[in-house]
């Protein structure tokens, strides 16, 4: 039951947590991963063993900043997959791609990765930020407002939601709600509508294009209890259920500096809601890294992948490779902490409170590996450090606890190829 309290607090009680300072080593390795003579002998011996011994470990690979920057593949990613794929074009160990992106279809992301990496990536190897929403079946039949961009309707239907309304559809139904852009204001006042079915919840899949429109209309839905054409004298609280995915404040593309992520949009919405109502915006579920639910979901896909390949040995170790200390390192360490608590307390898997109830886990550890090709960048000489006693800014989401240890990566390497080499050496596998 200790795990139950730990898990529930992370998801639902932000006021229980204190934000403390954290630090990461201010450098990446100066050269590539090197192998000592003793390691070479171990690797040579392990070549034959690998042929008969199934893997007992797997990889959780971030995408942006680890494998690609925007639409460009990072060269080290191609080298990494030359090591991960055997002569028959099959993976030597189970691999799942865990991204906080969500504005693309799962099979589309798999095709994109296949073209960039020169290796066939299957759709069920890709976890988008909103993929765990498939588990929230209690909302699949409700009429939900969905915010984001890309193939929103296709994505929500693939997740199991049967009745969704986009922000654009809501704006068309109630033109007077969207008033920021003077060019989009209605020229005449339309008649009020009474035939629009009430909205029963909100899905936040990713950052939208017109933030002012989405922020306004989402607020209208929450403040009116799903009837934005009417309005209430007093805003209901608790408000309608809200499910959100992708809490990244920043992410890395081709630009030299990080770009705003969906976490920035959520921060805007939370701040507006608190300012207007005096209450905190509440989430029924937060998905994407660093949510433990996302790592549970990834763990199960790793297990399924191993079973399909006929690898009988259970996958006991996971290695999570990422570029974002707040989402990738924090998430992997939080999941590792959870695994240790489950093992120590013998607690049951969670399910009654909305978390996924899965089969007992064989996974014993989850190690975080931070690369220097994305959001995380080593401090350069002359860079400005926080003054003594001053806390560095916390880029994590409001509803997640924070401690220095959760921000410390198990390993820091230059790139994903060095990460793969590191793991293969630790596991005694041939490069």
pLDDT digits (tens, 9 = 90+) for 48-91: 445 558 999 999 999 999 999 988 999 999 999 999 999 999 99
Q: Which residue intervals of 160-240 are DSSP H helices?
A: 167-173, 211-223
pLDDT for res 5: 40
pLDDT for res 98: 98
pLDDT for res 317: 98
| pTM summary value | 0.83
The band of 163, judged by pLDDT with boundaries at 50, 70 and 90, is: very high
- Give the integer Cα–Cα distance in Å for 84 and 81: 5
16-22: long-range contacts, CB 8 A cutoff, minimum separation 24 = 16/401, 17/400, 17/401, 17/402, 18/402, 19/391, 19/394, 19/402, 20/391, 20/402, 20/403, 20/404, 21/386, 21/391, 21/392, 21/404, 22/392, 22/394, 22/402, 22/403, 22/404, 22/406, 22/407, 22/408
Mean pLDDT of 337-357: 65
Residue length of the chain: 431
The band of 386, judged by pLDDT with boundaries at 50, 70 and 90, is: very low
The band of 431, judged by pLDDT with boundaries at 50, 70 and 90, is: confident
> What pLDDT digit, counting tens, does each position of 263-273 carry?
999 999 999 99
Q: How many CB atoms lie within 10 A of CB 270?
A: 18
Give yes or no for a contact between 392 and 22, defined as CB atoms under 8 angstroms apart. yes
Q: State yes or no: pLDDT of 352 exceeds 90.
A: no
- List of residues 6+ apart from 193 with CB closer than 8 A: 173, 174, 229
Q: State yes or no: pLDDT of 33 exceeds 70.
A: no
Q: State yes or no: pLDDT of 10 exceeds 60.
A: no
Q: State yes or no: pLDDT of 36 exceeds 80.
A: no
Mean pLDDT of 216-245: 93
Tell me whether strands 68-69 and 72-73 are parallel, antiparallel or unpaired.
antiparallel
The band of 205, judged by pLDDT with boundaries at 50, 70 and 90, is: very high
The band of 403, judged by pLDDT with boundaries at 50, 70 and 90, is: confident
- Burial zone of 200 (CB within 10 Å; 0-12 exposed, 13-18 middle, 19+ buried): middle
């Amino acid at each position: 039951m200790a795990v139950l309290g730990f898990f529930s607090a992370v998801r639902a009680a932000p006021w229980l947590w204190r934000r403390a300072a954290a630090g990461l080593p201010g450098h990446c390795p100066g050269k590539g991963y090197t192998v000592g003579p003793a390691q070479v002998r171990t690797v040579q011996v392990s070549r034959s063993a690998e042929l008969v011994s199934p893997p007992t470990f797997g990889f959780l690979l971030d995408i942006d900043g680890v494998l690609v920057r925007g639409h460009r593949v990072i060269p080290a990613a191609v080298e990494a997959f030359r090591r991960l794929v055997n002569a028959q074009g099959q993976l030597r160990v189970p691999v799942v791609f865990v991204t906080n992106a969500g504005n693309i279809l799962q099979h589309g992301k798999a095709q994109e990765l296949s073209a960039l990496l020169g290796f066939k990536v299957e759709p069920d190897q890709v976890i988008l930020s909103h993929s765990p929403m498939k588990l929230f079946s209690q909302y699949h039949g409700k009429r939900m407002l969905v915010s984001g961009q890309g193939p929103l309707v296709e994505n929500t239907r693939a997740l199991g939601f049967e009745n969704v309304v986009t922000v654009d559809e809501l704006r068309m139904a109630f033109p007077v709600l969207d008033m920021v852009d003077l060019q989009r204001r209605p020229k005449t006042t339309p008649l009020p509508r009474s035939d629009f079915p009430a909205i029963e919840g909100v899905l936040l899949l990713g950052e939208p294009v017109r933030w002012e429109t989405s922020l306004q209309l989402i607020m209208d839905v929450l403040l009116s209890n799903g009837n934005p054409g009417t309005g209430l004298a007093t805003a209901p609280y608790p408000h309608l259920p809200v499910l959100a995915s992708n809490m990244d404040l920043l992410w890395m593309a081709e630009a030299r500096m990080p770009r705003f992520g969906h976490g920035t949009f959520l921060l805007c919405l939370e701040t507006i809601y608190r300012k207007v109502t005096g209450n905190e915006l509440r989430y029924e579920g937060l998905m994407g890294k660093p949510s433990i639910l996302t790592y549970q979901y990834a763990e199960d896909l790793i297990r399924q992948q191993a079973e399909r390949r006929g690898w009988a040995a259970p996958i006991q170790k996971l290695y999570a490779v990422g570029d974002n200390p707040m989402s990738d390192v924090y998430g992997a360490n939080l999941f590792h902490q959870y695994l240790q608590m489950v093992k120590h307390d013998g607690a049951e898997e969670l399910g009654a409170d909305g978390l996924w109830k899965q089969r007992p886990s064989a996974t014993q550890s989850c190690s975080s590996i931070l690369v220097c090709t994305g959001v995380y960048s080593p401090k350069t000489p002359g860079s400005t450090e926080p003054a003594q006693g001053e806390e560095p800014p916390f880029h994590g989401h409001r509803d997640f606890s924070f401690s220095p240890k959760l921000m410390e990566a198990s390993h820091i390497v230059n790139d994903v190829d060095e990460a793969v080499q590191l793991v293969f050496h630790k596991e005694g596998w041939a490069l």
